[in-house]
Structure 1
Amino acid sequence: MWRLVVRGALLLLAALLVVAMGARHLRPTPDLVAVVVGVVALRGGWRSGLGAGLAGGWLLDLLPPGSAVLGTSALTYAVAGALAGTLHRPGPASWLLVALAAGVTGASVTLVGVLAALARSAPVNVPGVLASVVATATIGLLLGPLLLRLDARWARRA
């Protein structure tokens, strides 16, 4: 139970930071929710990644500026979390695998956003999109091992 509370708190903190960075127009903006979802998926498998992605996406849908259609981000992050969960391996994970899980999650979410923009004939800033994915993977590389240890600590307490 405490593990779910900690994961939920991390997702809420990540979502709030993403919204705050977006409001301040910081570029490139790393997707911190994707980092948390990637770490949870790497630690728990595709089902955990799906659940964390669904919760994190709902948070982003509900926080301002939100989504035009409620549930869009939730479904996108759920699929991305399930995809990152395929990287799950028993035992400790290397820091490169953590960065890869965060990068896969961030790239999947970004790809859906790019495809949606192309479907509406909206312009896509390709260098900005690539910089955002690289920033997400870099934050995953830096914060991912810490988040893995935190999750493992709360798993032992449960």
Structure 2
Amino acid sequence: MPDAPPIICEQVLGTLRPANAYSAEAIKAIDGRCVVKVTKMRRNQRRRAWYWIMLDVVAQQLADTTGTPWDAETLHDDLRDRLKLGKPLRTPNGRTVWKRQSTSDRSMNEIERARWTDRVATYLSRQIGVEVHQLIDEVRARGGGEPDWREPMEKAA
């Protein structure tokens, strides 16, 4: 799935441990042995992982606040609709259907991902009623590291 969260693990005492909720679920689903491709994480991948950890944080907050089953994937789809990431299509009877743009590596370069992550962080902080820096701090506390999204935008300017 191109818009699935990345499976990110970190090395701890010679073993690989999941670094986000999606990775933990993926590892639970392994039955026996599996093949893993190990790569160094590029800046775009770090930003992508940070984005999905941010969605986990906010989805948990929304679930706790509303008593409804929010998750990162549902929030991701909702964000693409609300923030209009994609393009509108029209049916013959005039109804508008939203064709969501993918956020996969193939679909977004570093600058586009940086802008998207910035927009999402600002929007989500307003939705849950916290300052952006508070949201960033919570994502860092959950293993998100540095958001690092402004650097490519400054280089592009």
TM-score (norm 1): 0.34
> Rg bigger for which structure?
2
Q: Which has the higher strand share?
A: 2
Q: Which has the higher helix share?
A: 1
Greater RCO between the two (CA within 8 Å, min separation 6)?
A: 1
TM-score (norm 2): 0.34
